[in-house]
Every structure is written in C-alpha cells, then in structure tokens.
Amino acid sequence: MAIGIWAVAAMGIGNMNISPLVKDGATLVTSGPYRLIRHPMYLAVLLVIWPVVIEYFSLLRIAAGIILTIDLIVKMPFEESLLKERFAEYEAYMETTKRLIPLIF
C-alpha cells in the first residue's frame, strides 16, 4: 500500500485517471516511484491483491487475480502508446525505466 500512496502523492490528484486515458492538461510525472518504474500504481495493486488471493485461496480468487493481472499487463502498452502520443519525452523516459519491476520488467 505504501507504493500506491507514494505513487498517488507523486502523480497528484489532478493528474490521476482510473482509465488509462491521458487527461487533458496532464503533466508527465517522472519523480517519486516513477523514476524507478513506469507503472507503480499497477505494481501496488498487484502487491495487495496477490497476498489476499494466496492467504484466502479459492478458485474464484485465483481466477480474479489472474484476470486482474492480465488486464493490467494488457493496459500497460496501451497506456504507454497514449503517453508517447501526448508527451514527446515519454520515449526517452521509457529507455531509463522498466514497466513494473525495477531493473527487470
């Protein structure tokens, strides 16, 4: 949860959007957890949901966890394509950060 709170604080409420669409007037944030990875909010969601799935294991929970994980993985490249269109500097930012796990992915 700390990663999620840190990401929200760095992003700022005015920049946030539940959908992957870029808000009008949004600014590119590359500080805070965004200096390490491009999708810290997605990482926070996964770090919260998977321990819950494992601790209270059921087929329904594992299915929900898998669907959520796939959804986030599919949304990442889509969101990045929108950000590249909006911010010329996003491509350079992508070269210096990983998507979800620092130094790995």
- pLDDT at site 15: 84
Contacts of 66 (CB under 8 A, 6+ apart): none
Give the pLDDT band of residue 25 (cuts 50, 70, 90).
confident
Confirm whether pTM is higher than 0.85: yes
Model pLDDT for residues 31-70, shown as the tens digit of each residue: 999 999 999 999 999 999 999 999 989 999 999 999 999 9
Question: CB atoms < 10 A from the CB of 72, how many?
Answer: 20
Would you call 21 helix, strand, or coil by DSSP?
coil
CB neighbourhood size of 25 (10 A): 7
Q: What is residue 40's predicted lDDT score, i.e. its pLDDT?
A: 97
Indicate the SS3 state at residue 71. Answer: helix
Of residues 94, 3, 98, the one with CA closest to residue 45: 3
Residue 24: predicted pLDDT: 87
